[in-house]
Structure 1
Amino acid sequence: MAKKKASKSKKTTPKAVSAGKPSALVDTRVIYCGDNLDQLKNFPDGCVDLIYIDPPFNSNRNYEVFWGETKEKRSFEDRHASTQAYIEFMRPRCVELHRVLKKTGSFYYHCDWHASHYVKIMLDQIFGENSFENEIVWKRTSAHADTHGFGHIHDIIFRYSNGKKPTFNIELKEYSQSYLEGYFKHTDEYVDTRGKFRINDLTGSGLRNGETGKTWRGFDPSKIGKGRHWMRTPEDLEKLVAEGRIYFPSKGGVPSLKRYVNELKGQPIDSIWDDIPSLTTFSSAAKESLGYPTQKPLALLDRIIKASSNPNDIVLDAFCGCGTALVSAENLGRQWIGIDISPTACRVMAKRLRDVCGMREDEKLWRIGRGFIVRDLPWTLEQLSKIPPFEFENWAVIALGGIPNKAQVGDMGIDGRIYPVSATPKKKEGELDFMDVWYPIQVKQKEKTGRPDIDSFEAVMMREDRTKGFFVSFDFSDGAMSEIQSFFKKSGKSIIPLTVKDILDEQIAYKLA
């Protein structure tokens, strides 16, 4: 194994660390929009240091979420009707991921109980059984009711290496309060500075012929039990006595080593991770949530990236969803690459990098190693006319700086909302803070929106009592434009018609998504 470093794990998000010079092997700080199998084939061999993927689980569930998962290739109900289909989908992608991983690199595959055993067999075949390093159990929740058996409250994360000396930095976590209170009970004259102490054995099993096998202060280690030896030389033991670190039992038993609570550096993290809560409503990390049901907490990715990479190493997430791995990598001073098939997810990632990390999506800045870019988004009229309707709605709403409606049906004629900068949070008794001032957005993936569509949107604005609304389409008929003017004269409420060409020409999506 590579030289190990110890670092104490913290639950707080670290300040962003400035990453060094970008890699000469592959472009970094790039989000690629498209099928990761196609994108990965363009990468050179052995170009990334750490890969983390959280692909859709074979759970036969549909998530109607931020970017319409039911309409994308990641949907299990459409793409992975069986475990075999899931493995066939993942195998060529994992082969490519193995190819682009450096010999000092590590690969983390996040999954759950539905297909983890099949995934393990597949990864053994691709990476080799001897490259398997860990099966990490992440306890994501404390309780889950299941009438058919024991509740499923954990995920599995498989860790594989790609060589004999993978990068691995030992991380430490705080000891539990129950452990500290249960074992550190003794006090002495150093309690004010060192805290309470517990006693540990000063001997190890087996006989030794050297210094550690000699009699010390009348105690012959070879006669203790079946034969033991001192853990330190007699000279070092005397130094510990002088420092008050040896405990001598009042009844003359074998001396022991004092371990003080205030001097503990931390407990090495093992393969059971029960100290990182998921992004539930009751979690302290819930403020990170973007509304994506399988979004993972930053603390989880921070732990993985700290353990298996060093500053300026390249981190790749080929199913990056809402971009948690990218945010973590940027905060920790790593280079990163993200891939996702969803255009909306890519825009959400870009917005998150700007909002959370303070990065700028700028080609010129990216070329000098400061900004980031998004590649292969559908930016032409023809491309946008062919993407799924819910994807198109999300693209348009986010392009205007709005928040998409999560529902595909029953949205009450509102595809998204824009909250103006001047809006201030208000609060009603018994309710959470919310923005009372907002403008509705209606989106139609039509060649030409007609008057009936405008009539319907007028009803929405009257029902919601909004003074302004936005309507996005590829074009508007003369009747639609006439009705917009008539509605303003009658009600004083404004409908702003925007064509897709308007958005593209003004680069609104680039600036506000």
Structure 2
Amino acid sequence: MNRIIRQENLAALRKLPSASVPLIYIDPPFNTGVRQKRTRIRAVRDVTGDRTGFGGHRYRTEILKTAPTYIDIFDDYLGFLRPRLLEAHRLLTPTGSLFFHIDPREVHYCKVLLDEIFTTPGVSGRDCFQNEIIWAYDYGARPTKRWPAKHDNILWYTKDPKLYTFNLEGTDRIPYMAPGLVGATKAARGKTPTDVWWHTIVSPTGKEKTGYPTQKPLGILERIIRVHSNPGDTVLDFFAGSGTAGVAAARNGREYILIDQNPEAVKLMRKRLKVVSPLKVVSP
């Protein structure tokens, strides 16, 4: 049964059986040093409104309920991650994969930590590292004193450096950058992605937007799940937030376990997931 577990994630992870999860995706706090929050708004047509929209029409901004928030500040960030990543390694099946989503400020420290955790007798953690995927997007502010930071890093590690799930035929295809160089047939089919994934953020005004801070696009999670798991497999996300990993799993015939201690996040996940799959919510 698909599950949402409302509990502190380390305690919840320790209750799960070893070698039971083929795919783990996590998008932990990035240690940004600030409170992560998003305020949800609605634009209503009003000739005296405070903003101008398409066609020059005026709109009035109405503030809706504030989305869930969390403090993204850690005195010892790696100390916070280490026991949780140790549990993740324990939970992976022999052919399982971990996808660790982080930003450029912390990625190099986290990679060294993961190299250590994935090192076991006879297996080098550095060999278990398969890819660093760059998720590139183009939205938001543009500072004038440095190049704008418009990408995240996703580290892919496998329990076994040689035996793992990789169904490339399951991926979506993307347009060629120079379609005239490859011919009409290839251009129409598109190509498989590389380790740089150009994908827009969740649109601030689109149907996918939940208002949850740091929500990641469904397209990113679906690509990971289709290629790195098989139908019927279980996907685990223990920093579940808005539940995008669960939605992606359910839409592609996978099971899911989502863990989060924030009651507002659990409420949001239940709302999103009840329309795509049966589920139960477990509290400690």
TM-score calculated relative to the size of structure 2: 0.82
Counterpart for residue 309 of structure 1: 229
Counterpart of 2:117 in structure 1: which amino acid? I
1:277 equivalenced with 2:200 (yes/no): yes
Displacement of 1:180: 1.2
Figure out how many residues of one structure are paired with residues of the other and give that number.
Answer: 248
How far off is 1:145 after superposition? 1.1
Q: Which residue of 2 aligns with 1:169?
A: 167
Query: Do the aligned partners of residues 68 and 349 (structure 1) sit closer, same or farther apart at CA in structure 2, a change above 3 Å counting?
Result: closer
Q: How far apart, in 2, do the equivalents of 1:326 and 1:292 lie?
A: 15
Measured after TM superposition, the shift of residue 281 of structure 1 is 3.1
Q: 1:41 aligns with which of 3, 6, 14?
A: 14
Please report how far the alpha carbon of residue 292 of structure 1 lies from its aligned counterpart in structure 2 after TM superposition: 1.6
Give 3-state SS (helix, strand or coil) of 2:35's partner: coil
> What does residue 148 of structure 1 align with?
145
What amino acid does structure 1 have at the position aligned with 2:128?
Answer: S
Quick one: which amino acid aligns to residue 200 of structure 2?
A: P
Would you tell me which structure has more helix in proportion to its own residues? 1
Instruction: Check the 8 A contact 1:315/1:336 in 2, yes or no.
Output: yes
**Higher radius of gyration, 1 or 2:** 1
CA contact (8 A) 1:144 1:153 kept: no
Alignment map for 1:264-413 (pairs within 5 Å): 265-274=189-198, 276-281=199-204, 286-355=206-275, 357=276, 359=277, 371-376=278-283
Q: Matches of residues 109-508 of structure 1 in structure 2 within 5 Å?
A: 109-127=100-118, 128-142=125-139, 144-163=141-160, 164-170=162-168, 171-176=171-176, 178-181=177-180, 183=181, 197=183, 261=185, 265-274=189-198, 276-281=199-204, 286-355=206-275, 357=276, 359=277, 371-376=278-283
Structure 2, unaligned runs of 5 or more: 39-65, 119-124
Once residues 100 and 191 of structure 2 are traced to their aligned partners in structure 1, the CA distance between those partners, rounded to angstroms, is 25
Alpha-carbon distance between aligned partners in 2 of 1:47 and 1:87, rounded to the nearest angstrom: 25
- Return the letter of the residue paired with 1:333: G
Q: What amino acid sits opposite 2:215 in the alignment?
A: Q
CA-based RMSD of the aligned residues comes to: 1.9
- Tell me if structure 2 keeps the 8 A contact 1:49–1:104: yes
Shift of 1:149: 1.0
> 1:281-309, CA deviations, whole angstroms, 9 ceiling, x for partnerless residues?
37xxx320011231011111000001100
Deviation at 1:354? Answer: 1.7
Encode CA deviations 1:381-423: one digit per residue, 9 max, x unaligned.
xxxxxxxxxxxxxxxxxxxxxxxxxxxxxxxxxxxxxxxxxxx
Distance in 2 (alpha carbons) for counterparts of 1:86 and 1:38: 18
Which SS does the other structure have where 1:336 is aligned?
strand
Q: Is the 8 A contact 1:133 1:161 kept in 2?
A: yes
Q: Structure 1 residues 88, 262: CA separation in 2 closer, same or farther (over 3 Å shift)?
A: closer
How far apart, CA to CA, are the structure 1 residues paired with 2:201 and 2:6?
27
Conservation of the 8 A alpha-carbon contact between 1:144 and 1:152: no
Taking the aligned partners of 2:101 and 2:108, their CA distance within structure 1 comes to 12
Identity of aligned residues (%): 38
Is the Cα–Cα contact under 8 Å of residues 329 and 335 in structure 1 kept in the other structure?
A: yes
Indicate how the Cα distance of structure 1 residues 263 and 137 shifts in structure 2: closer, same or farther if over 3 A, else same. Answer: closer
Higher relative contact order (CA 8 A, sep 6+): 2
Compute the TM-score of the two structures, normalised by the length of structure 1: 0.46
Aligned to 1:55: 28
Report if aligned partners of 2:216, 2:244 keep a CA contact under 8 Å in 1.
yes
1:81-101 Cα distance to aligned partner (Å, 9 max, x none) = 4xxx11100000000000000
**How many angstroms apart in 1 are the aligned matches of 2:142 and 2:188?**
38
CA contact (8 A) 1:58 1:114 kept: no
Shift of 1:265: 4.0
Q: Give the whole-Å Cα distance in 1 for the aligned partners of 2:163 and 2:194.
A: 19
Amino acid across the alignment from 2:164: P
**Kept in 2: contact 1:139–1:273 (CA 8 A):** yes
Task: Flag the structure with higher strand content.
Answer: 2
